[in-house]
Structure 1
């Protein structure tokens, strides 16, 4: 479980990233370039299953739909530019980042990694 102070920081960073309030002068500035690296990196799985990256399900073009590699379920585009509902609900942001980081990376993402991912997604 994430400590409360970390959860609050992630939600605040998510809101700041979603509204454009995070900038390079901010102490907690998110880094879209770091988010892109994290997004594209492939992670080996401890259970021996096929290595995964965020692109495994969401693809490289976030303006297009993706498909979950295990269930086959369609994933609506993540890019706020084509899907305005994305990055608008802090609870959903936290829920999906927690779930997807655990599934892809095999661990929970740090608050900084989450902010970087959100910042990257916003650029799409």
Structure 2
């Protein structure tokens, strides 16, 4: 407990009033893990509700659109192919890329951390910058539609 005086005690005594004070008590509050998880889940749900839904047609248009980066024209379809149900091949490393369509490859889009990691890496390489939330939503809507 501690005490806070709300005005000068000397002035109050001179005016014949009793000094006003307030008492406060602080209790340590440690939120449970469940409380924190519920808060984060509700914040994520609120943010998702405010986000624009993705457009599969806009995602498809961006998927095949060439972007000029470092003097090269690049598109998502260069490595992943225009047919999301088919395997692709990276244009530089020649490594095989599993099909993007969840209908053919159920592991696709199942891990949010991996999805974000690959968006960051592939958008930087293909577009020369990170994708914004609307573009990510459009790509995801397109991929999920196949």
TM-score (norm 1): 0.76
**Any stretches of 5+ residues in structure 1 without a counterpart?**
1-7, 14-21
Report the structure number with the largest CA radius of gyration: 2
Note the C-alpha offset of 1:29: 1.1
Structure 1 distance, partners of 2:90, 2:119, is 15
- Of 57, 62, 68, which residue of structure 1 is paired with 2:90? 68
Structure 2 distance, partners of 1:104, 1:112, is 16
Structure 2 distance, partners of 1:83, 1:108, is 25
CA offsets 1:10-63 (integer angstroms, 9 cap, x no match): xx76xxxxxxxx9xxx75211111111111100111x22x31000000001111
Q: Is residue 33 from structure 1 mapped to residue 61 from structure 2 by the alignment?
A: no
Higher relative contact order (CA 8 A, sep 6+): 1
Aligned to 2:68, what secondary structure does the other structure show? coil
* Aligned residue-pair number: 102
Structure 2 distance, partners of 1:98, 1:70, is 18
CA offsets 1:58-117 (integer angstroms, 9 cap, x no match): 001111100000000000000000000001110000000110000000000001100110
- Of 86, 89, 93, which residue of structure 1 is paired with 2:111? 89
Q: Is residue 103 from structure 1 mapped to residue 125 from structure 2 by the alignment?
A: yes
Structure 1 distance, partners of 2:136, 2:124, is 12
Structure 2 distance, partners of 1:111, 1:98, is 11
Q: Which residue of 2 aligns with 1:119?
A: 141
Q: Structure 1 pair 106/27, CA: closer, same or farther in 2 (3 Å)?
A: closer
Structure 1 distance, partners of 2:53, 2:136, is 12
TM-score (norm 2): 0.65
